[in-house]
Structure 1
Amino acid sequence: MKTKLLCRLAFAALAAIATPVSSGSEPNPSQVLHRTVKIDGLDIFYREAGPREAPAVLLLHGFPTSSHMFRNLIPALADKYHVVAPDYPGYGYSSAPSVAEFDYTFDNLANVVEKLTEQIGLKEYSIYLMDYGAPVGFRLAAKHPGRVRTLIIQNGNAYEEGIDNDFWKPVRAYWKERSEENGDKLRPLLTIDGTKWQYTTGVRNPEAISPDTWGHVQPLLDRPGNQEIQLALFHSYGSNPPLYPKWQEYFRKHQPPTLIVWGKNDQIFPAAGAHPYKRDLKNVDFHLFDTGHFALEEDGAEIARLIRGFLDKHTGK
């Protein structure tokens, strides 16, 4: 009996040593949290991680994805930075009202993101701008230059160069004439083949691209009424090039430190759109990657390393 008691005491002591003590009152700041707030009656979903007192990084996703595109980048930054990645209306886990209930324009997407930053208390932030995230983020930056500490640009345009290729011809036709016929020519981009094309074209190794990407995106695109949402935004994209001179003036006047991490094989926003930033921005850290549109999928670890070094330098952390 004495021997058994000693054994039980020994096992209990070992268990106490091996089990970490947690009060339950000290959350891990690097844990990714999944939150929703009301903005103008819409549920806007966002991912958030990192110490709230740390420099903030606002991650703005592209088409046709959502904050899901940052699922690996967020924890890679969250030990030192306060990271926030929203889903726009019509994307991810945010509300997707019909086109009759919400006017899907880039002005309105930017308004929603602006109100989100104000509601959750982001007073200053760096912005990661990708694809659709570029016209959303540049609207914010031009309107509130004092809030933007740095820019991280990945395959998102602010110049005419790079949106003059074959991909854009049917899109430009839709800007010029918003007809059913012109809209139908863009619907293949909303199919599973179109989605896979975006993720895999231009990559070094297609087997490195997780099917979780289109597995997340396509069911959301296939929701009733969502194709009309996407067509509305295809048309609204035509509102962006006329704003390019305003955004370029913002670059010249305010000179935000800028990191460019661009997939050079992108068939939508090719490398021709990356180089012109160097005309107007004096402090540019410029990198082209041998990959496609969604550069984070193949080169996320290296991009995260560059972002950390860039933010460490320019945000004082």
Structure 2
Amino acid sequence: MTGTVHHRYATVQGRQLFYREAGPADAPVLVLLHGFPTSSFMFRTLLPELAGRYRVIAPDHLGFGYSDAPPADEFDYTFDALTDLTAGLLRELGVSRYAIYVQDYGAPIGWRLALADPSAITAIITQNGNGYDAGFVPDFWQTVWDYQREQTPETEAGIRAALTLEMVKWQYVTGVADESVVSPDTWHQDFALLSRPGNDAVQLALFRDYATNPPLYPALHEYLRRTRPPVLAVWGKNDEIFGPDGARAFADDVPDAEIHLLDGGHFLLESAGAEVAELIRDFLGRHGSA
């Protein structure tokens, strides 16, 4: 079942946040949290697929998509700050209980939301959204770790490669058996927004702050063991950023976690969107309200 997607703005802490919304206002809520280097655009086909049963909300993080992007010397870009803005948006929209779909950067934001208010989270869907050391693919992450450890011209040059059109495209097509199913709109739109004046400094700040995320993992694992939320890990098994061991690891703390390793890469929705949507509908349908 499909539904109309609305494109809206809300002011949170004096910042304009853009979000996409679909589905009945009184339906169970599913919040979609995007990753780097994209925006809620990554959910453009998923929202109408889920809107028949759920109120689906997909914000653009500050500095991404159509949300405000204040310069890095005017706003302290951290995952804590992005989480606070997301929580503020949900309050503004009257949302107090919700399921989360997390991918890439959306995962540490989702984990912070869950740790701050465990009773708010009704279910977790993680699509290449990492929560375990086992998920990191060292060949990709070593450049990030080097930059986090020491900011030098050499380490910054290495990390800036992630902001190039070539590397943005790489994230979309790597691990996809048939690259022709991935629209060039994806990487060209992302690159255009990354290339806005000053946005490079925003992204560098978040690469540095990503170092704060793995230290949260023990608290995340304890939360998962204690509360046992329904967990669906649906993963592009050929992802060279967050590997499939990151999906399997959720079963260490939630033994009945549902784990699906699909043929695809980091942005699985681009090549297996219909399959992911069906898994989500089945998962949420069996676990009551979203």
| TM-score above 0.5 | yes
Q: What is the aligned partner in structure 2 of residue 298 from structure 1?
A: 271
Q: Give the SS at the match of 2:71.
A: coil
For the aligned residue pairs, the C-alpha RMSD in angstroms reads: 1.2
Name which one, 1 or 2, has greater alpha-carbon Rg.
Answer: 1
Unaligned runs of 5+ in 2: none
Give the Å deviation of 1:109: 0.6
Question: Does residue 87 in structure 1 map to residue 54 in structure 2?
Answer: no
Give the Å deviation of 1:105: 0.5
Give the Å deviation of 1:162: 2.3
Q: What is the aligned partner in structure 1 of residue 118 from structure 2?
A: 145
Q: 1:11-50 alignment to 2 at 5 Å?
A: 30-50=3-23
Change (3 A) 1:316 1:244: closer
Q: 2:153, 2:95 → 1: CA distance?
A: 41
Q: What is the aligned partner in structure 2 of residue 182 from structure 1?
A: 155
Unaligned runs of 5+ in 1: 1-28
CA-to-aligned-CA distance 1:74-103 (integer Å, 9 cap, x gap): 000001100000000110000000001111
Q: What is the aligned partner in structure 2 of residue 54 from structure 1?
A: 27
Give the Å deviation of 1:316: 4.4
Change (3 A) 1:120 1:202: same
Q: What is the aligned partner in structure 2 of residue 279 from structure 1?
A: 252
Q: 2:137, 2:286 → 1: CA distance?
A: 35
Q: What is the aligned partner in structure 2 of residue 315 from structure 1?
A: 288
Give the Å deviation of 1:282: 2.7
Question: In structure 2, which of residues 134, 159, 171 is the aligned counterpart of residue 161 of structure 1?
Answer: 134
Give the Å deviation of 1:178: 2.6
Query: Contact 1:256 / 1:283 at 8 angstroms: preserved in 2?
Result: no
Q: Give the SS at the match of 1:123.
A: coil
Q: 1:102, 1:236 → 2: CA distance?
A: 13
Q: 1:239-258 alignment to 2 at 5 Å?
A: 239-258=212-231
Letter in 1 for 2:94: G
Q: Give the SS at the match of 1:199.
A: helix
CA-to-aligned-CA distance 1:293-317 (integer Å, 9 cap, x gap): 0000000001000100111111248
Q: 1:287, 1:307 → 2: CA distance?
A: 11
Runs of 4+ in 1 over 2 A off after TM superposition: 178-181
Question: In structure 2, which of residues 177, 191, 206 is the aligned counterpart of residue 233 of structure 1?
Answer: 206
Query: Contact 1:55 / 1:315 at 8 angstroms: preserved in 2?
Result: no
Q: Is 164-173 or 189-198 further displaced after alignment?
A: 164-173
Q: 2:111, 2:289 → 1: CA distance?
A: 23
Change (3 A) 1:169 1:316: closer
Give the Å deviation of 1:164: 4.9
Q: 2:142, 2:275 → 1: CA distance?
A: 33
Q: Give the SS at the match of 1:58.
A: strand
Q: What is the aligned partner in structure 1 of residue 177 from structure 2?
A: 204
CA-to-aligned-CA distance 1:52-88 (integer Å, 9 cap, x gap): 1111000000100000000000000001100000000
CA-to-aligned-CA distance 1:163-208 (integer Å, 9 cap, x gap): 1511111111111113343122111110110110000001010001
Query: Contact 1:149 / 1:315 at 8 angstroms: preserved in 2?
Result: no
Q: 1:42, 1:108 → 2: CA distance?
A: 12
Query: Contact 2:71 / 2:198 at 8 angstroms: preserved in 1?
Result: yes
Q: What is the aligned partner in structure 2 of residue 218 from structure 1?
A: 191
Q: 1:278, 1:59 → 2: CA distance?
A: 22
Q: What is the aligned partner in structure 2 of residue 173 from structure 1?
A: 146
Percent of pairs with identical residues: 50
Question: Does residue 69 in structure 1 map to residue 38 in structure 2?
Answer: no
